[in-house]
Amino acid sequence: AAFGLYFPRKEYSENVYIDQLAGMPLLRIHALRDSHGEAAHFHLCQNLIISRARSHENHWFQIREKTGLLYLSKSLDREDFNMLSVGNWMPLSKVMLYVFLSSHPFQEKECDSATRTTVFLSLINATAPVCSSLTARQLCFTEMDLSFHIKENKPPGTFHQLQLPSVHHLCQNLSISYKLLAAEGMPFRYNENTTGVSVTQRLDREERERYELIAKCTVREGFREMQVEVPFLVNVLDEDDSPPFLPNGTDTADAVVEFNRKEGTVLATLTVYDADTTPIYPLESSRKKYTGTIITDDPWISETFRVEHIFDEIHFSPNGSQVRGTQHEYKLVLNKSISVTEHRSFQLDVLVNDTEFHGPERSVMLHFNVSILPVSIQFPNMTYQFTVNRNAERFAQIGKICIENCMKFRGVNITYKLLSHNVSCYPVSILQGREDKWGSLYVNDSSVLRRPECKEIQYTIQATDKQSRKHTKTLLTIVLEGTLLKKEEDCPDSCAVSKHHAECEECGGLGVLTGRCQWRQGSGKGITTNYSTCTPSIKTCPDGTCDVIESKDPAVCPQDCTSGNIIGGHGKGTGNVGIKSGHGICYCFPRQNCYCEKDDIKEQLCDDVCKTVI
């Protein structure tokens, strides 16, 4: 009842010539029924739409209410033609009119029925061509493709007439006959007397959604015979006539919450199939038609979980031909981060409902076995011990502190804190990584390292979960080793300033572990991530990420952290920070520019003079 009568195509087109006589038939429009007993009534909107938003009252075209034959009711003379061409830019003038459809006679000439089709009439600035000048193609078919759509599950009926009414009217001395090829076994029939094509039975899109036939036309004029073949296509339109079903009967999935407790985490996915198609636009309305609801009275469950629905087109192959269907995926998602102390198990049911399907099996129930496991905040059974060279400089990275499984955690925020025993020796600090998974130990006060009374320093490390305030402790021992080196004069703050191997390893700089910068020798091939550079520690700089310690001071590792100009061949790092790749040697003046260039100063070759032994 929602559909009613409908047109089997969206657009029709035909040519109109100057001075064609009133009564000239132009084209035949058909309608298909939604239920038996409906009778179609056709009606024209009394406005011609001329391209570019002009409209004009229609004086020339009329349609037979019962048969759908559009004809010329008044001859279109040159003056009419000029009037209708104003505002048309293209050499070809077109007017457009709407044909409306109703199951009862039209009471008044209303212009706003939902069921309508569009007719394009091309106004040709010439008198109608004589029949003998027309090609077989022109005599047999219009320019438009023969392409139709028929709704599934609807009664049979005639939906097209192959014969062109205008040609039939004008060229009566020609014999034009049609045939429908490749129609054996297909639910279509051609009637030779009327040249009408009808669908003979209810169609099922889930069986087959496209029929490709061939319309063949034969023109005979005396002894001459011409033939034309064009494709004749029928698409079957879908309606919601299939219930949802489960692939392999799977309606249950396990959903375990352990280390990953972050809001937005997808815990499990269950799939529902439907043989009907689902348009992905407008997306929201399609989502509303196929709902997934968590069935629960527990406010904690409805606050903590949500169901996300995505769908995608898939193909089924019933009896060989491919038809489109839909795969719906229902994902159980954490709606908020879950505390590490939470511990429970339950079954969560999701009701999936195909709201437009009118049958008893319109819904399926999905079950998620949810287990929320608590996680413990504890250090691995050991104490930490790190050795630090007495020559290490400020921001030297000593090591990482991590509670058990810390790298697996998501949505758990751990803070690491150092509690010192002997207050006088306090050289190191801890900084939190961005994702709050581990803590990085670094030298905060290098002068303490140099003091002879500080040898072995004890700390207690405390790790605390922000949400539950649960915490744990362990011992950390820092052993100072090595003998103090004499500091070179004229050395810059930053290792990155050195552009030669020798000067790099002579100096120290912020972040060095043993008092000396390290040289990284690159491959030297073009612009590469493996460029040559001077760094406090090859392990951490450059490694492509500007970590928390490096970002404390721009002199530590500008190779990873610079946001200034880079002069020379280079590629920038993510977010325009750092040098991802460079040409030759890259060196930087912190807070200023970086340079990447080939080192062209080579040792002078031994010339003839030096070879000469006196």
Partner 1 sequence: LAGPPSPPGQDPHGWRVPVDCVRANELCAAEPSCSSRYRTLRQCLAGRDRNTMLANKECQAALEVLQESPLYDCRCKRGMKKELQCLQIYWSIHLGLTEGEEFYEASPYEPVTSRLSDIFRLASIFSGMDPATNSKSNHCLDAAKACNLNDNCKRLRSGYISTCSKEISAIEHCSRRKCHKALRQFFDRVPSEYTYRLLFCSCKDQACAERRRQTIVPSCSYEDKEKPNCLDLRNMCRTDHLCRSRLADFHTNCQASSQSLTSCPGDNYQACLGSYAGLIAGFDMTPNYVDASTTSITISPWCSCKGSGNMEEECEKFLQDFTENPCLRNAIQAFGNGTDVNLSP
User: Rule CB under 8 A: which residues touch partner 1?
Assistant: 10, 45, 47, 51-55, 87, 89-92, 111-112, 143, 147, 149, 235, 237-238, 277-283, 311-313, 324, 572-576
**Residue placing its CB nearer to partner 1 in the complex, 45 or 476:** 45
| Cβ at position 269, least distance to partner 1 in Å | 18
Q: Which residues of 225-260 are buried (b: 16+ CB within 10 A; e: fewer)?
A: ebebeeebebebbbbbbbbbebeeeebebebebebb
| Cβ at position 109, least distance to partner 1 in Å | 11
**Residue placing its CB nearer to partner 1 in the complex, 102 or 494:** 102
Whose CA is closest to 244, among 290, 205, 306, 208?
290
**Residue placing its CB nearer to partner 1 in the complex, 111 or 407:** 111
| Cβ at position 325, least distance to partner 1 in Å | 11
Planar angle of CA 415, 421, 423, nearest 5 degrees: 105
**Residue placing its CB nearer to partner 1 in the complex, 209 or 393:** 209
| Cβ at position 313, least distance to partner 1 in Å | 5
SS3 of 86-108: the string is CCCCCCCEEEEEEEEEECCCCCC
**Residue placing its CB nearer to partner 1 in the complex, 112 or 600:** 112
Structure tokens at 511: 């972040």
Provide the CA 33 distance to its chain's centre, in angstroms: 39
**Which amino acid type is present at position 67?**
T
Q: How far apart are CA 98 and CA 11, in angstroms?
A: 9
User: What are 101's strand-pairing partners?
Assistant: 42
| Cβ at position 90, least distance to partner 1 in Å | 7
**Residue placing its CB nearer to partner 1 in the complex, 283 or 407:** 283
Structure tokens at 174: 């020609």
Planar angle of CA 253, 256, 260, nearest 5 degrees: 135
| Cβ at position 13, least distance to partner 1 in Å | 12
Task: Count how many residues are written for the chain.
Answer: 614
| Cβ at position 2, least distance to partner 1 in Å | 14
| Cβ at position 144, least distance to partner 1 in Å | 11
Contact between residue 219 and residue 136 where contact means Cβ atoms under 8 Å apart? yes
Helix (H, G, I), strand (E, B) or coil at 202: coil
**Residue placing its CB nearer to partner 1 in the complex, 108 or 600:** 108
**Residue placing its CB nearer to partner 1 in the complex, 243 or 571:** 571
Contact between residue 427 and residue 458 where contact means Cβ atoms under 8 Å apart? no
Contact between residue 311 and residue 327 where contact means Cβ atoms under 8 Å apart? yes
Contact between residue 442 and residue 549 where contact means Cβ atoms under 8 Å apart? yes
Q: How far apart are CA 202 and CA 188, in angstroms?
A: 11
